[in-house]
Every structure is written in structure tokens, then in C-alpha cells.
Amino acid sequence: MPSTVTVFGAYGHTGRFVVAELVRRGWTPILSGRNESQLHDLAAGYPGLAVRPATVDDPDALDRALAGSVAVINAAGPFGDTVPALVEAALRAGIHYVDVAAEVEVVAKTVATYQDRAAAAGIVLAPAVAFYGGLGDLLASAAVGDLPAVDEIHLAFALDSWIPTPGTRKAGVASRGRRNGKRLVYTGGELVLRDDAAPTAEWTFPAPFGKQTVVGDFTTADSVTIPSHLKTGALHSYMTPDALRDLASTDETPPQPADEFGRSAQQFLVEVVVRAGDTERRAVAAGRDIYAVTAPIVVEVLSHITSGTQAGLHTAGRIADPAEVLRALLPVHLDLLEIDGR
Ligand SMILES: NC(=O)c1ccc[n+]([C@@H]2O[C@H](COP(=O)([O-])OP(=O)(O)OC[C@H]3O[C@@H](n4cnc5c(N)ncnc54)[C@H](OP(=O)(O)O)[C@@H]3O)[C@@H](O)[C@H]2O)c1
């Protein structure tokens, strides 16, 4: 049942999509974040919604921001700066915590740090419930289905462009700082730093992307969320090169709205192939705007969490039937969804 939920980072690019989707689905968001005037500007478009400013170094203000909510959605990143304070506030309040972090090391630390405390507090703690960390995990979980273990999971992203938000740029700077010029690779069941060049591979996506030379070892939050609950011998990830060229651009113009939902024109396609012996299964989803699609993913997962998921730390693919979660995104939020055998 929709209820009251606090959105921290509510006036950010992604936070605004989250607030709009919550309202569309009948939830009552409490608008929180560190800039009071930005919160009031946002609230002007939503008469009646509460504004509760808070900063990560003020636990009392965070407690006030979370009071009366069943959950907090943390959309404020770089997440290395916000996760500890917001998770601690959720634990104090005894309410669920969901974030949209993309920073791989931060998501790995969240998983490693809070598993036991979330379970003991009787709350669900769900990191990276978003395009990265969430959609791939849902597709991989749906494709794996009833297989107890698989030999390989391949996760391939196709983006026709990637105009990053300021938050993505800052998260990139924070991640590069942590990696000391090296690249992060998931291999042998762990994340390691390497200084060799990323490999390339050929991948044939469904139309309109088709056959592409993709960059391998494109390590995302999915390299934490997927192996946190799916047994796989290997996880390989790939990205189309155009998106990486865009990401490296010095043009800081943020994504521009191009439809009635405020989505940009960016097209995405995510394809997962899992192999177990002779069995191969595939799941694919496509849609528009990786920031915008994060909102329905997080709100759909939240609705399952508040309907009675067992307490503990869970990723998007583990919280409910992943195929059901994905199908709920059709037809508005996904243009294409195919899951072998489902
Ligand atoms: N996993 C995914 O697929 C996915 C999808 C979407 C977004 N994200 C991540 O979400 C984050 C936000 O992205 P965005 O697109 O919304 O960027 P954005 O438009 O720049 O918004 C960032 C928001 O976070 C707030 N914030 C940042 N640091 C904060 C801090 N220390 N304390 C309080 N608030 C803070 C900002 O407030 P100020 O304006 O006051 O700084 C702003 O409200 C990024 O890290 C991005 O990578 C991930």
C-alpha cells in the first residue's frame, strides 16, 4: 500500500524523477536534502508535500526528515558522502532504506557492512536499486530463474548516448580518486584493480543497436548486486563505446527533457545472457533515459519491500519475483522486455 516515504536528494535530477513517480503511484513523499530553497522550489510543484531539510552531519535533522515514513530513498550522491549517515538514520528510525548508488565500491561496502544490522533491525536495506545495479540484476535474476547456479553471466549495455548529470560526474571523480588511475574489474569472485587496457569484444544486440565492438570489463554496481545472491562462475560486462566517449566529454550541459515525462532522448538496451552447461538463457530490456527509468525501478521495488520482504540486505533482483518487477515497468517505462522461458 502506498504510504509516506522520505526522498533524500529530492531536488536532484534523479530525485525529481523519483518524487514524480512516487506521486504518480499514490505515495506521499517527504522532500528532503541539504538545500532548503531548492526543496521549496520543488515543493511548489507539489502542493501539500512536506519539506524537511537535513544534512548528513546533523543526525537530529535526519531523524526529523525520516519521522513518520515507512522508508527512505537516498538519491543524493556521490554516495560515499551520504550512505553512512542515511543508513544509520534508517536504522535508528527502524524504516527501510533504498538507494540509487552507482559507485561500485560504495555499493560493495554497503553490502559488506550492513547485512547483519539490517536483519537485526527488522528493516530491508536495498542498495543500487536503479538503472545500474538494479536493472541488470533484475534481468540476470529473471534469466537465471530456477537454475541453482550458472557458469557465466554476460551483461551488455547499449546506450546511444550518455549525457551525464552533475551527480554522475562527481561520482565519477570520486570513483577515479578511489582507484588511483586504475580500472576496477570483477574477476574470480572479487573486485580487483588493474592498469592494463580494457578488452574489447563483439556483441550483437537486438535492433536498433545491432552488432557492435563493445568495451569489456565495464564494471558497474551490477558487479556487486548480481554476485551478492546469484551463484555464477563468472560475470562479464560490456558497454557500447559511443556512451563512453560521451561520458568523457568536457561539455557539462546536463541531459535535456525531450518528452512529456521529462525524459531525455537517450535510448538504452540491456541484455543478459546466462550459461549453465548447455543451457543458455537471455533477458533483454530497452527504454528511454537511464536516469528517468531509475524512478519506476526504485518505486516498484519499494512497493514490494513494504508489502513484506524478509528483513535484511537485499538487491533488486532478490526482493520479489524479478520477472514480475520487470513486467510492471511495461509499457510506460520499458519499450521492450523479453525473458527466455517466462
Ligand atoms: N545507479 C544508477 O543507475 C543511477 C541512476 C541515477 C543516478 N545515480 C546516482 O545518483 C546520484 C545523483 O544523481 P543525479 O543524476 O540526481 O545528480 P544531481 O542532479 O547532480 O543531483 C545530486 C543530488 O545529490 C545531492 N547531494 C550530493 N551530495 C550531497 C551531500 N553530501 N549531502 C546532501 N545532498 C547531496 C545534491 O544536492 P546539492 O545540489 O545541494 O549538491 C543533489 O540533490 C549520482 O551519484 C548518480 O551517479 C545512479
Beta bridge partners of 71: 5, 96
List the single range of 148-152, 246-250, 264-268 with lowest mean pLDDT.
246-250
Q: Which carries the bigger pLDDT value, residue 248 or residue 16? A: 16
Average pLDDT for residues 109-123, to the nearest whole number? 96
Compute, in angstroms, the gap from residue 146 CA to the centroid of ligand 1: 36
Percent of the chain with pLDDT over 90: 91
Identity of the amino acid at 44: A
Q: Which atom of ligand 1 is nearest to the CA of 132?
A: 3
The span from the CA of 40 to the CA of 45, in Å, is: 9
Compute, in angstroms, the gap from residue 279 CA to the centroid of ligand 1: 40
The gap from C-alpha 161 to its chain's centroid, in whole angstroms, comes to 18
Compute, in angstroms, the gap from residue 230 CA to the centroid of ligand 1: 28
Which grid coordinates belong to 75? 538519491
pLDDT of residue 39: 98
Residue 40 predicted with pLDDT over 80: yes
Residue with cell 526529523: 64
Q: pLDDT tens digits for 270-328? A: 999 999 999 999 999 999 999 999 999 999 999 999 998 899 999 999 999 999 999 99
Q: How far is CA 121 from CA 74, 89, 94, 266, in A?
A: 18, 12, 6, 40
pLDDT of residue 237: 98
Residue 84 predicted with pLDDT over 90: yes
Q: Which atom of ligand 1 is nearest to the CA of 76?
A: 24
CATH 1.10.3720.10 fits 4-130+294-319, yes or no: no
Compute, in angstroms, the gap from residue 182 CA to the centroid of ligand 1: 24
Compute, in angstroms, the gap from residue 144 CA to the centroid of ligand 1: 32
Residue 197 near residue 182 (C-beta atoms within 8 A): no
Instruction: Name the CA dihedral angle for 131, 136, 137, 138, rounded to a multiple of 10 degrees.
Output: 90
H helix runs in 124-274, sequence order: 136-144, 166-179, 222-225, 241-247
Q: pLDDT tens digits for 202-212? A: 999 999 999 99
Q: Could you tell which of 6, 11, 13 is best to mutate to test the pocket of ligand 1, judged by most ligand atoms within 8 Å of the CB? A: 13
Compute, in angstroms, the gap from residue 12 CA to the centroid of ligand 1: 6
Start-end of CATH 3.30.360 domains in the chain: 132-289+323-339
Q: Which atom of ligand 1 is nearest to the CA of 34?
A: 33
Compute, in angstroms, the gap from residue 66 CA to the centroid of ligand 1: 19
Give 253: exposed, middle or buried? Use CB within 10 Å, 0-12, 13-18, 19+. Answer: exposed
- Bridge-based pairing of strands 150-159 and 232-239 is parallel
The span from the CA of 152 to the CA of 129, in Å, is: 23
Q: Could you tell which of 6, 7, 13, 14 is best to mutate to test the pocket of ligand 1, judged by most ligand atoms within 8 Å of the CB? A: 14
Pocket of ligand 1 (CB under 6 A): 9, 11-15, 33-35, 56, 75-79, 81-82, 100, 102, 128, 130-133, 165-168, 171, 221, 290-291, 294
Average confidence score pLDDT of the chain: 96
pLDDT of residue 303: 97
Q: Could you tell which of 37, 79, 100 is best to mutate to test the pocket of ligand 1, judged by most ligand atoms within 8 Å of the CB? A: 100
pLDDT of residue 149: 97
What stretches of the chain adopt beta strand conformation (E)? Answer: 4-8, 28-33, 51-53, 71-74, 96-99, 124-126, 150-159, 183-187, 190-194, 200-204, 211-216, 232-239, 267-276, 279-288, 312-313, 336-339
Compute, in angstroms, the gap from residue 204 CA to the centroid of ligand 1: 33
Compute, in angstroms, the gap from residue 14 CA to the centroid of ligand 1: 7
CATH 3.30.360 fits 132-289+323-339, yes or no: yes
Start-end of CATH 3.40.50.720 domains in the chain: 4-130+294-319
Work out the pLDDT band at 108, boundaries 50, 70, 90: very high
Evaluate the omega torsion of the peptide bond into residue 78 and state whether it is cis, within 30 degrees of 0: yes
Average pLDDT for residues 139-152, to the nearest whole number? 97
